[in-house]
Amino acid sequence: MRFSPLVDRVSARGAGAWRIQMEAGRRRDAGEEVIFLTVGDPDQAPPEPVIDATIDALRRHRTGYSATVGFSRVRQAIAARFQRRTGQPCGAENVVVTTGAQGGLFCALQCLAGPGDEVIVPEPIYATYAGVTGASGAHLTTVPLRGDRGFHPDIEAISRAVTPRTRVIWINSPHNPTGAVFTAEEITRIAELCRSHDLWLLSDEVYEDLAFARPHVSPWSLPGMAERTVVVSSLSKSHAIPGFRFGWIIGPATLSTHLFDLLLCMTYGSPAFVQDGVLPALEGDLPEVDALREAYRRRAKMLSRILRGAPHCCLAAPEGGMFVLLDIRGTGLGSEDFARRLLEREKVAVLPCDSFGPSAVGHLRIALTVPDRRLAEAGRRIVRFARELTAASSGAFRSAR
């Protein structure tokens, strides 16, 4: 029996990364004490007002179908929040509620690009971007983010990548996996490219509240960009509730109409009790968000300081987000081999990044999602392992002489 060509277009890339994750899970289930630093699953508790509101909604039996694109009050709250942040008009008609930012990215791209179109993305890219683009039938064109530039975009290289078939430029800032926070000038120049070539600008802003080197800038905030900007975000990272699967798309009102049609044959709406539960986070600024950002800032600084002691490894200090990207190419090992041996020897699980694009080959993404003391211990274990590799290599060299 044959399957649709879609299954090939969305097939998982880079199985090596997930092999480490699965092996670490197997070891944990067998009783081993593994430090998991693979996925961006916050270890902090969600804000109590969100938990209380969700429980209250369940007790009120808010378990039926909801509005397909989200309840009006929820969309109005998202729009008001976004307007405060960007200084540009945004109404409920611009907002569609989705199942997390991942669901938002999938739905948005299906409405923005299709077969024969090209989508430009600076890489490294988050692991699902290729599958999302493949599902739409469009072609993914990547432009390298170089480590010697701090993984900031080369605007001229992006400009050279534009062809008559280009339909979308897709950016992610704060960036996963590098932690780069694009500057206001970089966002402005990318926006100018989109205006001059009549392109959509798709902006993944899921880490917007976790920018700590400089303020996050949304392209929606720029004059003349609301008509061609589509923003996807969520509360998953900023409020430590990824399991809620609550996200949204902000774009022109005409896009909302098409998203309604798409969601009608997909999710048929986001759970009512989840939408009720997140209202305290949308309608007010909860102190837990600042605490989360400061925790990741502190952890990033601490882990970066520790990892600088790892021989033949280097890193660019993250400017935001919840990851540190470590370049281990100098050790002579590939990223999956390094991660596998690290798990076996030191019981630390990290994510090999080869599947994130050519610019990430030989890098490890290390999540900052365990308490400080445990994270510091993981850092020391990584350094110890790198030093053992160096000693073994030196011994082999002396023996060869």
Q: Are both 171 and 271 inside the same structural domain?
A: yes
pLDDT computed for residue 355 by the predictor: 87
262 lies in a domain?
A: yes
Q: What is the mean pLDDT of residues 74-95?
A: 98
| Domain end call among 243, 261, 282 | 282
Q: How confident is the model at residue 14 (pLDDT cuts 50, 70, 90)?
A: low
pLDDT computed for residue 240 by the predictor: 97
Name the nearest CA neighbour of 184 among 126, 233, 225: 225
In the chain, count H helices and then E strands: 13, 12
Say whether 361 sits in a helix, a strand or coil: coil
Task: Determine the residue type at 196.
Answer: S
Each residue of 90-146: pLDDT tens digit? Answer: 999 999 999 999 999 999 999 999 999 999 999 999 989 999 999 999 999 999 999
Per the structure, the complete domain to which residue 202 belongs is given by 48-282
Q: How confident is the model at residue 17 (pLDDT cuts 50, 70, 90)?
A: low
Q: Are both 29 and 59 inside the same structural domain?
A: no
Alpha-carbon Rg for the chain in angstroms: 22
**The domain spanning residue 40 has which CATH number?**
3.90.1150.10
Q: How confident is the model at residue 362 (pLDDT cuts 50, 70, 90)?
A: very high
Q: Highest mean pLDDT: which of 15-19, 38-42, 169-173? A: 169-173
135 lies in a domain?
A: yes
Say whether 232 sits in a helix, a strand or coil: strand
**Strand bridging mode 348-352 / 35-37:** parallel
Residue 22 per-residue DSSP state = H
125 lies in a domain?
A: yes
78 lies in a domain?
A: yes
Q: Are 123 and 140 in contact (CB under 8 A)?
A: no
Q: Are both 327 and 228 inside the same structural domain?
A: no
Q: Are 307 and 334 in contact (CB under 8 A)?
A: no
Q: Are both 232 and 291 inside the same structural domain?
A: no
Q: Are both 364 and 219 inside the same structural domain?
A: no
pLDDT computed for residue 10 by the predictor: 87
Q: Round to whole Å and give the CA distance between 250 and 143.
A: 25
190 lies in a domain?
A: yes
Q: Round to whole Å and give the CA distance between 92 and 75.
A: 5
CB 74: neighbour CB atoms within 10 A? 26
> What is the count of structural domains for the chain?
2
pLDDT computed for residue 11 by the predictor: 81
**The domain spanning residue 59 has which CATH number?**
3.40.640.10
Name the nearest CA neighbour of 225 among 88, 372, 53, 339: 88
Q: Are both 102 and 156 inside the same structural domain?
A: yes
Q: Are both 256 and 323 inside the same structural domain?
A: no
pLDDT computed for residue 142 by the predictor: 97
Each residue of 190-235: pLDDT tens digit? Answer: 999 999 999 999 999 999 999 999 999 999 999 999 999 999 999 9
Which residues, 6 or more positions from 13, have their beta carbon under 8 angstroms from its beta carbon?
127, 130, 131, 355
Say whether 140 sits in a helix, a strand or coil: strand
Q: Are 248 and 205 in contact (CB under 8 A)?
A: no
226-262 b/e (C-beta count within 10 Å ≥ 16 → b): bebbbbbbbbbbbbbbbebbbbbbbbeeebbebbeeb
Q: Are both 60 and 189 inside the same structural domain?
A: yes
pLDDT tops 80 at residue 13: no
113 lies in a domain?
A: yes
Report the percent of the chain where pLDDT is more than 90: 92
**Between residues 401 and 14, which one has the greater pLDDT?**
14
Q: Are both 139 and 264 inside the same structural domain?
A: yes
| Domain end call among 230, 248, 282 | 282
Q: What stretch of H or E contains 327?
A: strand 323-327
Chain mean position to CA 378: 22
Q: Are both 209 and 114 inside the same structural domain?
A: yes
Q: Are both 90 and 230 inside the same structural domain?
A: yes
Q: Are both 75 and 38 inside the same structural domain?
A: no
1 lies in a domain?
A: no
pLDDT computed for residue 391 by the predictor: 87
| Domain end call among 282, 298, 320 | 282
Q: Are 49 and 283 in contact (CB under 8 A)?
A: no
